[in-house]
Every structure is written in C-alpha cells, then in structure tokens.
Amino acid sequence: MNRETSTDRICLTLPTNRACSPAIAEISEEAAYAARTFPVEVDLLILDSSDEATRSEHARVVAELPVTPNVTVHHLDEARQRDFLRHAIRHSGLAEQERMLELMLPADLSYGACTNRAFLIASALGCRSVHRRDSDCTYQVFDGEKVFPIHHELASLGKPASEASAAVSETVLEPAHAHRPVSMVGSSFIGEPSVDIAEIERLDAGVYHDVVSLWGPVDWSDEEKRQLVDESFKGAGTEPFTGDHATLTLVDPMRVDMSNIGFHHEVYERVPLPPATDTIGSDYFLIHLVHDAALPGVLHNRHIENFYTPYRRTDAGFRAYQMRFVKFLLSMLYLNFVYDRMGSAGAALVDDHEHVRGDTISGFLGESTGLDRTDNVWRLDRVSTSYRKLGGRYAEFAELMDARREQLLDEAQSDMEDFALLIDAWPALVRAARDTGLRTAVGLGSADG
C-alpha cells in the first residue's frame, strides 16, 4: 500500500513466544480505542513464535475477537513470517540472502529481531508508525477505563514539534528543534522490575550494586555507578495512574520502556535494532538514537503494568534469563562506545532532510568491534565472583557461565558485526518490503489466519 495515499495507517504490534491470550484480547481493545478515537486504520500485528498448541489457542482467541471498524488483525506464525522475509529478501537483491534471513528470524530468542520483523511488515502494510507492547504486561485501569498509551502516541507522532506542543502538558525543547517531527512517544512501567534480578537485591544489596553497575562504562565514578544502579530496571515505581501528563522533549532513554513505545516510520525505516540473540536490552537502541540525534519525543505517564511469567521461576527459565542478562552486560562494552560516539555526533546523525544516517551508525559499530576485550573479561570475573558469593542456583549458573566464557566474549563482538551488516542492508530490505506487500508474500486472502 502506498503510504502517500494512506497516511493514517498504523501498526500496533505484540511479539510473543509464550501463552498470552489475555494480552491478545487486551491489545485488541487498544486497537479498537485507537480506531474510534483517531482518524486511523489499525493493523494489529501479532507475531507468534510460540509452540503449536499455544499458537492454536491464540488463533482461537483471534478468531473470537469482535469485528471492529478500521482494525485488521494479522496473526502470523513463524512460517508465515519466514515466507514474508524470504520474499522481501529475494526482492531486495542483497547478497548473503540466507544470512539476512538468519538475522531477521534467528533460531534463538531475539528481542531486536522480532521487533525488526514488525518494522518490515509495517512498511509492507504502508503504516506510518509502529507501536509495541509486550505479552508480560497489562494496562492500568483508572475510573473504570483502561489506560491506553496509544492515546499519546497518536496525538503527537509525526507532527512537527511546534504543532505537537498543543497536545501535551508541557514543552521542554529548544526552539531550534521545533520544526523537527516527533519521532518517538513513550512511557515506562509500574510493577515488577523489567529485569528479573530483584532476588539478588533481597539476598545481598552489595552484590546487586556490583552486578547492576557492570552495564555502565567501567571508568565511571562510584557516584555515577550508584546513580545508575538506583535508576536501573525499576521503571516508574509502583504509583498508579491518576491523570494524564505528557512532556514534549528530548526523551531520556532511562524513562521509557520498549513495552510502551511508538516510533515514527522515518526512524525505524532508516535504522533497525540489533539482532543479537539471547540478550536482554537488544531492542532499546533506537531510544538512544532518537535522543542523541535531538529528534523530539513525548514522554507521558500512561505506564504499562509489568509482571513476571511463571516460566521465569523455573530452573530452566532462571538459567536462560540470567544468561540473557550476562550477554546484555557484555554488549555494553560496544554499545556504550557507540552511544558515546552518537552523543558526540549530535546533529551529524541526521542529514539535511532530518533523516537518520544509518551509515554513520554502522561506522561507529565497526569501530567498536576493534575494542580490547579486557573490560568484558573483567565483567565476567565480577559476575562469577558475585554469583558464587550468593550460592545456590546462582553459584551453579556461574559454573555454566564460566564454561562458556570464550564463546560469550566472541558472541558479544560478532553481535555488533551482525548489527552493522543489517544496518547497511536495511534500506534495501525496507524498499523490498514496501514493494512486496504482506498478503502476496505470505499467501493470505481477504483475512489473516
């Protein structure tokens, strides 16, 4: 679909690899709210990587959703996602096409890759924005009504900041940025911390500080690390919603969460997210890019409510999640370097048309892959020592981690190489997705199944 003739089509997406029938029902309510409150057509996109039995249950829930004017539901399992990607990648003419498919749909869990698929499918559908939610979140309720974040997202996204100021409570933005479009609208969460390490803090506050501080630059001062630990992973705390407040500003990346975010297409069609596997936080890159490029955003207070799924409490779930956390810590050697370069580049991150320069970002990533690994060896040593101090299943995990040390170090570097490769290929993939469309690529008829 040509975006020029359908400027008000949006994509509300829910990527999932777990049973989440309540979340599907709830996000459909948000889609209906968007369609009846704003002049938009909503493509509700459920990207389903769960097992066959769970997908079947999800399909039943989707089939029973009420028909809503201007809302189209797309429930795509991985087979249909793969069909779309193969079609688009083939149409792109890129070399290493199987490699591109692997980066877009890896065998292992990837928070960045699942969102990249949503970005490409949104482009194929002609959407002007993508709005992401997660399956382990729910909406707050105020005065008997669910508090939908899309209210603020659609009120501002894509508008020049000078116009968007009418829809917010306050504006904290330099006049020099007023002509730029609002590129991101987001909020945070209340409830359980976004990273499942609260037990560490309960067991030993000192160990918690040592471990959490590892995601910051190693040369930070003790005070900087303390502030980082105090702010990390806790979202907006526990205070419930009592009324709207929204600020037009350059949004602090520490104040928003990827379960509660909307991006304008001029951002995600220029630069994708890191496709790193089994790495928490790999989907947060664009939040930093929008901020460092001085692209206006809106920070609001319609926080999502976060909760933990039962799987995280199992031994297997614990080991998997802790490994994702460790890989996140190792990724920061490279990402902190890139963020520092982006912060210094500032206005150079966009061209004369206010478009983000993907080649500049891939250049920074290329530089980062030559960094000495000593800091990451130190990070692994600190995690191992800390977890052994905690004992029990943490000490057992430290044994598993230590056995994979070299592999983990290699993967942290190769993940950045993969990201740079995907950025360079991204413009061709986006063009191919637009040309391909969704229905032709996955063989859908008049309704998605």
Higher pLDDT, residue 267 or 446: 267
CATH number, domain containing residue 374: 3.90.550.10
Average pLDDT, the chain: 93
Q: pLDDT by residue (tens digit) across 59-109?
A: 999 999 999 999 999 999 999 999 999 999 999 999 999 999 999 999 999
Q: DSSP letters of 345-411?
A: HGGGGB-TTS-B-HHHHHHHHHHHTTS-SHHHHHHHHHHHHHHHHH-HHHHHHHHHHHHTHHHHHHH
- Asked if residue 5 has pLDDT above 50, the reply is no
153-164 as b/e: b if 16+ CB within 10 A: bbbbbbbebbeb
48-82 as b/e: b if 16+ CB within 10 A: bbbeeebbeebbebbeebeebebbbbbbbbbebbb
Q: What confidence score (pLDDT) does residue 237 get?
A: 86
Question: What are the phi and psi torsion angles at 389 (to 5°)?
Answer: -65, -35
Distance CA 161, CA 53 (A): 46
Domain that holds residue 237: 8-437
Q: DSSP letters of 176-201?
A: GGTTSBP-EEE--EEES-SSS-HHHH
- Residue carrying structure tokens 């359980």: 192
Is residue 447 included in any domain, yes or no? no
With pLDDT > 90 as the criterion, what percentage of the chain qualifies?
Answer: 87
The pLDDT-based confidence of 311 (bands split at 50, 70, 90) is low
Number of domain units in the chain: 1
Is residue 329 included in any domain, yes or no? yes
- Asked if residue 22 has pLDDT above 70, the reply is yes
- Asked if residue 4 has pLDDT above 60, the reply is no
Is residue 407 included in any domain, yes or no? yes
Q: pLDDT by residue (tens digit) across 373-383?
A: 999 999 999 99
Tally of CB atoms within 10 A around 140: 20
- Asked if residue 447 has pLDDT above 90, the reply is no
Is residue 442 included in any domain, yes or no? no
Is residue 3 included in any domain, yes or no? no
Tally of CB atoms within 10 A around 223: 8
Is residue 141 included in any domain, yes or no? yes
Is residue 74 included in any domain, yes or no? yes
3-state percent helix, strand, coil for the chain, nearest multiple of 5 = 55, 15, 30
The 8 Å CB, 24+ separation contacts for 365-368 are 365/334, 365/338, 365/416, 365/417, 365/419, 365/420, 365/423, 366/420, 367/337, 367/341, 368/333, 368/334, 368/335, 368/337, 368/338, 368/416
Is residue 1 included in any domain, yes or no? no
The pLDDT-based confidence of 1 (bands split at 50, 70, 90) is very low
> Could you tell me where the DSSP H helices lie in 198-350?
198-203, 205-212, 222-231, 265-268, 285-292, 315-345
Q: What confidence score (pLDDT) does residue 161 get?
A: 97
Q: What confidence score (pLDDT) does residue 317 get?
A: 86
Which tokens sit at 399? Answer: 């044994």
- Rounded average pLDDT over 291-300: 97
- Asked if residue 154 has pLDDT above 60, the reply is yes
- Asked if residue 195 has pLDDT above 90, the reply is no
